Structure 1
Amino acid sequence: MATSLRFGPYEVSRFVDGIYKAPVGHLIHRQGEAALAAALARHEGETVDMDVNCFALSGPDGMTLIDAGCGTAWGAAYGHARAAMIAAGIQPAAVSRVILTHIHGDHALGLIDGDRPYFPNAEIWVPEADLGFFTSEAARKTLPPARQGGFDLAARLLDICGAMLRPIPTGKIADDVEAIAMPGHTPGHTGYLIGHGDHRLLLWGDALHVSALQADDPGIGFVYDIDPETAYSTRLKALAEVAEQGWLVSGGHLGGFFRVEREGDSFRFVPQPV
């Protein structure tokens, strides 16, 4: 089921592709193991469960997606966004562009259907810094094998969707859509600010994964962050700016649309009705 709100000319709908169960062992803390243990003292279970989201922007320039989920690449527990979008009247051929926050599987594998593009008529807009990084053999050698999946994915995207790819810079990329550099999770990780005036939405990809933990303690991160310290700085800056500006926020793994309130060194997420 999709949930939606309007920002500027766009009706923004959230689609859940599946639930990712991250092992607790994948969490890290910038101040070390003792700080992580204290932060997790009230957490129950061996996983941290989070939605895998993609977003549809319906506007005067057609249908745009922010991220594409992972399709069927990760098995039957995922790929639900495709059926949900069709049920909402969004056929794959009707999507005119897909804008990626970054090149990770749960955001980009949904672009691929076997050996063909799943959205046959879409341009695929990719942050130029991420595309540059994940197509660099020199950059690949800087990361351990477990963190090299983005390089293989970029190669696959180029092979199957190469003619559709368009590298994009930061700044205004469409009417009432601004690309904002939010590095750390990946070097070219990008958020998208949608709307104008006082009513805006920041789709921040993976700047923050789990509001229940990272709002209370932004020092918590995941091993998926390529540069954990930069990811922390980006996360803290994004939380503070969203709270100060009064923007709404969602992202790759948040369970809805939220307003953020600052409480000293911590933050509180207030769910917004849809």
Structure 2
Amino acid sequence: MPSLFTRTRLFSALLAAQTLILGYTLPLSANAAPVAKQQNQVAGFYRMALGEFEVTALYDGYVDLDSKILTGASAEDIQSLLARMFVDSSKGVQTAVNAYLINTGSHLVLVDTGAAQCFGPTLGVVQNNLKASGYSPEQVDTVLLTHLHPDHACGLLNSAGQAAYPNASVYVPQAEADFWLSDEAAAKAPEPMRGMFQMAKQSVAPYDAQQRLKLYAPDSALIPGVSLVPSNGHTPGHSSYLFTSQNQSLLVWGDIVHSHAVQFAKPEVVIEFDIDSTQAKATRQQIFANASRDKLWVAGAHMPFPGLGHVRKEGAGYAWVPAEFGPLRSDR
């Protein structure tokens, strides 16, 4: 065995060679200064190709929901499904809020706009992420709203209360407008809901004043490559939008699902926010069946970001198959 002196010289030679070749030495002291942690998440956008269309998912933030607002199955079943997805519901169920920007080549379309300042500090960054993705609010020419709940419509306004998308026309289903923009409906609503009516009216007001608020019927033609899929129940005029390019289709379905851990396995589970829970349940079951059968791409406002994926039939219910991260490819 080499002597201690020989081993020490050998170690020193190896260390010198490492420094020469790699330009650094390994820390030899346990007291070395720690490397500062990076406290910021990556920008909240994700892109995928849909035929000739480009789809950009935009993260608005999250809200923690109480699992008790889910009904239609036993509390034990709901908790079991949440636990199966490693969700600790005692701290609230983290629920994302997403919007979707679709570049069709002739239109830059934003589906839903996020919550802006309406829901607190964990939400309201759609515009920041839109800019981070390489676009500007001024380039958006079409906004399609799935419905007029604040976490979908408040982002129509900037912090000054002006139109956040100054060159866009805003499309709202007629039945949705008839409810949320009606003074009569607001007066009849329970007191806790009345603020939502006010926020809906404020959100669309600048666009209405400039004749850029477009109310449409279920049989209306929107823009090329986009068709309407009525999906009411959650709200009276809740609507989904089907984008199609080169035989590929993406259904942007709004609030069909609020809890992916529970509602795919048990589509009969509804949420407190559903205005017509019976219709919302029937709509969800139909949308799931169609999306699974037709192998549609799906974009969900409250699915884990980026909220893009497929629906697969599984047993008596369904399962969510999220998109796999990868480069933009139009051949998938």
Q: TM-score, normalised by structure 2?
A: 0.77
RMSD after superposition: 1.8
- For 1:111-150, list aligned pairs within 5 A: 111-113=156-158, 114-150=160-196
- Amino acid across the alignment from 1:87: A
Q: 1:45 maps to what in 2?
A: 89
Farther-moved stretch of structure 1 (5-14 vs 178-187) = 5-14
Whether the 8 Å contact between 1:198 and 1:246 is mirrored in structure 2 is: no
Q: 2:330 maps to what in 1?
A: none
- For 1:81-120, list aligned pairs within 5 A: 81-113=126-158, 114-120=160-166
Q: C-alpha displacement at 1:104, in angstroms?
A: 0.6
- For 1:121-270, list aligned pairs within 5 A: 121-162=167-208, 163=210, 164-171=212-219, 172-196=221-245, 198-255=247-304, 256-270=307-321
State the identity as a percent: 28
Q: C-alpha displacement at 1:18, in angstroms?
A: 0.3
**How many equivalent residue pairs?**
270
**Per-residue displacement from partner, 1:66-87 (whole Å, max 9, x unpaired)?**
0001123323322222111111
CA distance, structure 2, for counterparts of residue 93 and residue 263 of structure 1: 43
1:15 aligns with 2:58: yes
**Per-residue displacement from partner, 1:220-271 (whole Å, max 9, x unpaired)?**
1211111111000000100011001110112111122111111232101111
1:66 aligns with 2:114: no
Q: C-alpha displacement at 1:27, in angstroms?
A: 1.7
Q: C-alpha displacement at 1:42, in angstroms?
A: 4.6
CA distance, structure 2, for counterparts of residue 26 and residue 65 of structure 1: 29
Whether the 8 Å contact between 1:198 and 1:247 is mirrored in structure 2 is: no
Runs of 4+ in 1 over 6 A off after TM superposition: none
CA distance, structure 1, for counterparts of residue 200 and residue 81 of structure 2: 38
Whether the 8 Å contact between 2:176 and 2:237 is mirrored in structure 1 is: yes
Q: Secondary structure at the match of 1:76?
A: coil
5+ residue gaps, structure 1, are none
Q: 2:45 maps to what in 1?
A: 2
Whether the 8 Å contact between 2:52 and 2:245 is mirrored in structure 1 is: no
**Per-residue displacement from partner, 1:118-160 (whole Å, max 9, x unpaired)?**
1111111111110111122343355322233442123213433
5+ residue gaps, structure 2, are 1-43, 83-87, 326-332
The structure with more strand, counted as a fraction of residues: 1
Tell which structure's C-alpha radius of gyration is larger. 2
Whether the 8 Å contact between 1:185 and 1:226 is mirrored in structure 2 is: yes
Q: Secondary structure at the match of 1:179?
A: strand
